[in-house]
Amino acid sequence: MEIIIVGNGIIMETWSLLAEMAPYLLLGFFVAGILHVFMPKEKIYQHFSKNNISSVIKASLFGIPLPLCSCGVIPVAAHLNKEGASKSATVSFLVSTPTTGVDSVLATYSLLGPLFAIVRPIASFFAGIFAGIWVNIAEKEKTAKPQPPKSFVCSTCKIDNPHSHNLFEKIKSILKYGFLELVEDTGKWLLIGVIVGGIIGYWVSPEIISKYLGKPQIAYPLMLLIGIPMYVCATGSIPIAASLILKGMSPGAGLVFLFAGPATNTATLSFVGGKLGKKTLLIYLFSIIFTSIIFGLLIDYIWRIFGRNINLIIGNMSMLPDWFKIGSAVILVFLILKGIFKKTGKEMKGMGKIFKVPDMTCQHCVRTLEEELKKLGGVKAVRVSLKKKEVEVEGEVADSKIISSIEKAGYSVKR
């Protein structure tokens, strides 16, 4: 009986978590689709591909105004990384984007006053640059570089001759890329993160935290401990922080929660670790912890200088309606399940030359290889198996040309 109660509790918590995340995730997929159509690959490569401070700063600045949470930022970051953005720029974007945004800045001012509204975006910008530079240093020894795209490659139809599309075609491409292709690529990581988050949420709640907030030295690590695995968006975290501050928690501890909560959750951590590597995940986490503590101490210091003026930290905003969150969750679950149960590539028929491509990780890889290989003269058919990490090319074409085409797409080859 107890197992059933616990099981039901975890299911309800997971569904609640998914419902809170879903609108922002769908927004993130939509924004990624817009970027795919209106910010072509050559522009992304031009501004974000280099492992230098300029790319990191641009990525951080690019992410600050976007109204995306730590889940909504995942599909956008995945798009940027796939289209040629360097790992350092991708991480910079991943850190700076979910911790603030045009919507959360206004909401922060509304509920937490001017001090938080000013310090929060500054902290986001600093954290993005700090994380990006560190990743840049850590990845410096790696020599593999993404291949620069041609001067023009249409993101809607993949034709490399300059042309244009009407509005309907562009909208169709936005929806296809954002809600089909990217969901297929990230759905597994999101689902794992949501389930783990639901388990954590069942046993750990904000109410428990409020009992142990007497001292900043306890409140800071406690906010980190709860905020890092918990899902809470940049805007949704504001009422929680405001209520805890009103109960006596220091403003600095509130900033720690406002920063660490939106910047991380189990879904984001799963994505960063799975897609960008464990070393990058450690850098990502440390950058968030370090920045949140530094700026938490700063906001406490400023507040004390101004005589603990309550008007500096207390500014109501209405949250999203339940019907909208539930509807978004249903749509998201449908899209994720559709992507999970979709066949991953084509079965090998043994009628052509087979090449091992160990770098393949997602449906985007499958589509990229198919498109690149089909451009070769003499190719009759291309079959890509994500499960086996193999590519089969049928037709009269030299092995060297096939290998060169696969490497041009950014992948390694083994025979």
CA 97/CA 125 separation, integer angstroms: 9
Structure tokens that stand for 344 in this block: 């991953």
Residues forming a β-bridge with 355: 391
CA 198/CA 211 separation, integer angstroms: 22
Closest by Cα among 229, 249, 377 to 314: 249
pLDDT of residue 331: 94
Order of strands across the sheet that contains 379-385: 353-356, 390-395, 379-385
CA 300/CA 187 separation, integer angstroms: 39
CA 323/CA 331 separation, integer angstroms: 12
All CATH 3.30.70.100 domain ranges of the chain, comma separated, are 353-408
CB 86 within 8 A of CB 55: yes
Structure tokens that stand for 56 in this block: 């990191």
pLDDT of residue 150: 47
Residue type, 406: I
More confident residue, 25 or 277: 277
Closest by Cα among 187, 177, 176 to 337: 187
pLDDT of residue 413: 81
Residue-wise pLDDT for 346-398, tens only, equals: 666 667 788 888 767 667 677 777 877 887 878 888 888 877 888 888 888 87
For the ranges 9-13, 90-94, 144-148, 296-300, which has the lowest average pLDDT?
Answer: 144-148
Q: Choose the CATH number for 353-408 among 3.40.50.2300, 3.90.550.10, 3.30.70.100, 3.10.580.10.
A: 3.30.70.100
* pLDDT at 294 exceeding the cut of 90: yes
Structure tokens that stand for 73 in this block: 């930022």
* pLDDT at 204 exceeding the cut of 60: no
- Using CB atoms within 10 A of its CB, is residue 254 exposed (0-12), middle (13-18) or buried (19+)? buried
For the ranges 101-110, 133-142, 153-162, 192-201, which has the lowest average pLDDT?
Answer: 153-162
Torsion of CA 238, 241, 247, 251, to 10 degrees: -110
- Average model confidence (pLDDT) across the chain: 76
Per-residue confidence band for 144, with pLDDT thresholds at 50, 70 and 90: very low
CB 251 within 8 A of CB 116: yes
Model-level pTM? 0.59
* pLDDT at 296 exceeding the cut of 50: yes
Report residue 23 CA to chain centroid gap. Answer: 15
**3-class DSSP state of 345:** strand
For the ranges 74-88, 200-214, 358-372, which has the lowest average pLDDT?
Answer: 200-214
CA 237/CA 11 separation, integer angstroms: 22
